[in-house]
Amino acid sequence: MKHIVVVEDDAVNAVLFRKLLERRGGYQVTVTDSPDEVMSITRAGGIALVVMDVSLVDSWWEGKQVNGVDLCRLLKTDAQTIGVPIVLATAHAMRGDMERLLSDSGADDYVAKPIVDHDKFLEQIRRWVQSEAA
């Protein structure tokens, strides 16, 4: 079973992601808002994908406050995690936000919250998980 890490600090969104990815997607899911846990889990290997909330509140890494863009950059520049696909999840869905956030973070893809089309979201996740396995 493929393992996905969801980095989300909003309890409602965390439950939605878990239910969609576990029940409908068939994935093993770890939900966390801890940068330490994200880095530890992804460095340990075996992670097929990270879904990363952009606007993390009160998250700290090595003494510095970080958000999802910062964490994404950390993962994409770490030799142990550089190849893990990351999908940003954000309510920032205005024109130009997707391009700016992908450029700033180094993430592989983007999804706007709230997730309205569950089937489309799961298909997006499947494409990344399958390409990671190839």
Number of domains into which the chain is organized: 1
What digits encode the pLDDT tens for the residues 10-62?
A: 999 999 999 999 999 999 999 999 999 999 999 999 999 999 999 998 999 99
Cβ neighbours of 98 (radius 10 Å): 18
**Which pLDDT score, from 0 to 100, does residue 97 have?**
84
Q: Domain limits at 92? A: 3-133
**Cα–Cα distance, 78 to 68 (Å, whole number):** 15
pLDDT score of 133: 62
* Element housing 52 (H / E): strand 47-53
Tell me the whole-structure pTM to 2 decimals.
0.94
> Domain containing 66 — which CATH number?
3.40.50.2300
Residue 93 has pLDDT above 80, yes or no: no
Residue 134 — very low, low, confident or very high, per pLDDT cuts 50/70/90? Answer: low
